[in-house]
Amino acid sequence: MIKLFALTTALALTVGGFAQSRTERASVEWGAEMNDSKDGAFDQVVGFTDEHVYMTVVQKKEIFLRKMDARHHIVYQKLVPMEINKDDHSMKEIMVIGDRILVFSTFYDKKEKQNSLYLRVFNEADMSPVGRIQRLAAMSAERRSSAGYFTVRTSPNEEVILINQLVPFEKEGRERFKLNVYDKEMTPMWERSVDLPYLDSEFSVVETRVTNDGSVIMIGNKYAEKREAKELRKDGKATYEYHLLTYQNDGGEPDDHPIRVADKFLQDLTLNIGEEGDILCGGFYGNKGTFAISGTFFLSLDRETKQINHSSFKEFDRDFITQYMTEKEEAKATKRADKKGEELELYSYELREIVRREDGGAVMVGEQYRFYVTTTTTSNPNGGTTTTTTYHYIYNDIIVVNVDPMGEIEWAAKVPKRQHSTNDGGRYSSYAMVVKDDNIYLVFNDNGKNLFLNPGDKVEPFRYGKEMLITLATINGEGKVSREALLSQEKREAMTRPKSGVQIGDDRLFIYANWRKEHRFGTVTFN
């Protein structure tokens, strides 16, 4: 049996010989203990309101939709059948929009050589079906392995839904899409087939969004031609620039807006489209045409012209870059930079999200992430060989950037962590976040030895076992970071799935924690 305790007792327990500090910043309420085989294995959260959370669970290879209230009681758990009219569908997306639940699935027809996207609608209150299944989109595909791709996105106010079809690739051609835009009742608003204005080798789509007025925005990288790219690399400049393409229901060419900032190599540009239509961009930049970063940037774009109307930059100084490096790690990083004749920089960071503050400011959160694959081959006495492929997922330090209401970057803070797992998709890695007033709260799985970490100390990696700890890191309004244990246990540690955590209401974080086949859902309320 799993035993979970909020740190509100007067006794400080120990993990790995280190006394845990008790948090008074949050309280945790847990639901009943559940079992994967009896109750279903938790898959992912697909929607939430202030009072309910909707999730998929898997039981006996079938998918169920579960509605859970704020007290962690199951309101219903209903089968979502994937065999429809004797055809085996694949789940694509589940959305909770108002009083309806939209279930999107795909089916590849080998006889017709066609890949199709289907929609089923259910009542949110009791999961009863509304109408019949309908086919929304279809595209020709010779093989299942190259059957194209569908994505489903909603506008910030959830009033507009985009079905984007990536048509199967044609060598030496242009990337082709079909855009279908609907209102929240799934009534068609407009559709059109589009070819990107660049060859596939010249342009890579990074992200596609739909706005409240039904416009479709694509952001991508426009690469320089080979000869030009060679010259740019010689000069230490970026070989690509970001472009923002806007498609509307007019049948014309897209508005094409390059996002250029002098002397900056922009990386990991992420969009945030507000409910009023304003567009915010953020990310990291480097000084060379590489994927090392030396600072962070924040841009606001005019909602009509898509031109940059405000920009803010913050260079990371040496102290920030080397913070939480040991002397040995700092010396190694410095030697590597000196060898290349470059400034000391950070590596492999991705901007995860831009969160708007109630005061008009914003919070940008990035994380050091790397994925790689190793293959080993061993021989047996009979002369045979066995090959093993291992997938590695690394989630390390978090960078939090605070932007004031005027669009100026006030400060950047680093939260150290080390998470390396294999063959699990990084299920227990990364973080969950809540923004409340001036504070930013981060929850993640950690090593108990890191609880009293100081700059220059070695950051111990998270490992399964007695040293496991769910850590609460708090960044206050001035960028100061503090760490505390969120939960404490006598003998066995709980693990949370941070990426499944969602903020409900203004001050609550819905989380999932488990050990082996036992699990619970809980709510962290921040004081």
Helix, coil or strand: residue 527: coil
Place 14 in a pLDDT band, splitting at 50, 70 and 90: very low
Task: Count the helix, strand and coil residues of the chain and give each as a percent rounded to the nearest 5.
Answer: 10, 55, 35
Q: What is the pLDDT of residue 290?
A: 61
Q: What is the mean pLDDT of residues 377-390?
A: 88
Which residue did the predictor score with more confidence, 185 or 19? Answer: 185
pLDDT at 266: 85
At residue 9, φ and ψ (nearest 5 deg) are: -80, 165
How much is the pLDDT for 289?
A: 55
Whether 22 has a pLDDT exceeding 70, the answer reads: no
pLDDT(526) > 90:
yes
Beta strands of 49-128 (E only): which ranges? Answer: 52-59, 62-69, 74-79, 83-84, 87-88, 90-97, 100-109, 114-123
For residue 335, give the H/E element and its range.
helix 327-340
- In tens, the pLDDT along 409-464 reads 999 999 999 999 999 999 999 999 999 989 999 999 999 899 888 878 889 999 88
As a dihedral over the C-alpha atoms of residue 93, residue 356, residue 482, residue 319, rounded to 10 degrees, the angle is 110
- Over residues 36-48, mean pLDDT: 94
Q: Which amino acid is at 459?
A: V
Query: Which pLDDT score is estimated for 195?
Result: 87
Separation in Å, CA 39 to CA 34, 36, 74, 82, 520? 6, 5, 10, 19, 11
Q: Phi and psi (nearest 5°) for 484?
A: -145, 160
Among 81-90, 235-244, 449-458, the range with the most confident prediction by mean pLDDT is 81-90
List the 432-436 sheet strands across, edge first.
Answer: 432-436, 439-447, 468-475, 481-485
Spell out where 141-186 has E strands.
149-154, 160-166, 174-183
d(C-alpha 306, C-alpha 258), whole Å: 9
DSSP for residue 93:
E
User: What is residue 4's predicted lDDT score, i.e. its pLDDT?
Assistant: 41
Q: What is the mean pLDDT of residues 341-365?
A: 88
* Short-list 364, 391, 365, CA closest to 376: 391
Q: Note whether 501 and 28 are within 8 A (CB).
A: no
Bridge partners for 107 per DSSP: 116
* Sign of the CA dihedral with 221 first, then 225, 228, and 230 last: positive
pLDDT at 189: 96
Q: Is pLDDT above 80 for 16?
A: no
Would you give the distance in Å from CA 128 to the centre of its chain? 31
* 174: pLDDT strictly greater than 60: yes
Return the pLDDT at 190. Answer: 95
- What is the model's pLDDT at position 12? 39
Q: What is the DSSP letter of 22?
A: B
Nearest to 524 by CA among 15, 49, 72, 67: 72
More confident residue, 476 or 464: 476
Mean confidence (pLDDT) of the chain: 87
C-alpha distances out from residue 398 to 241, 391, 403, 468, 506, Å: 25, 22, 16, 19, 22
User: DSSP state, 13?
Assistant: P
Please compute the mean of the pLDDT values over residues 274-287 and round it to a whole number.
85
Strand order in the sheet with 52-59: 41-48, 52-59, 62-69, 74-79
Tokens standing for 480? 């100061």
3-state SS class at 320? helix
| Structural contact between residues 496 and 472, judged by C-beta atoms closer than 8 angstroms | no
* Section 285-293 average pLDDT: 73
pLDDT band for position 1 (cuts 50, 70, 90): very low
Nearest residue to 78 (alpha-carbon basis) of 96, 93, 59: 59
**pLDDT band for position 381 (cuts 50, 70, 90):** confident
- Which pLDDT does position 17 carry in this prediction? 45
Q: What is the pLDDT confidence band of residue 8, given thresholds at 50, 70 and 90?
A: very low
Query: Residue 286 — very low, low, confident or very high, per pLDDT cuts 50/70/90?
Result: confident
Check residue 15 and give its pLDDT.
Answer: 42
Task: Report the relative pairing of strands 18-19 and 26-30 from DSSP bridges.
Answer: unpaired
- pLDDT score at 234: 66
- Check: CB of residue 259 under 8 Å from CB of residue 281: yes
β partners of residue 118: 105, 135
Q: Is 260 helix (H, G, I), strand (E, B) or coil?
A: coil
CB 120, CB 95: distance < 8 Å? no
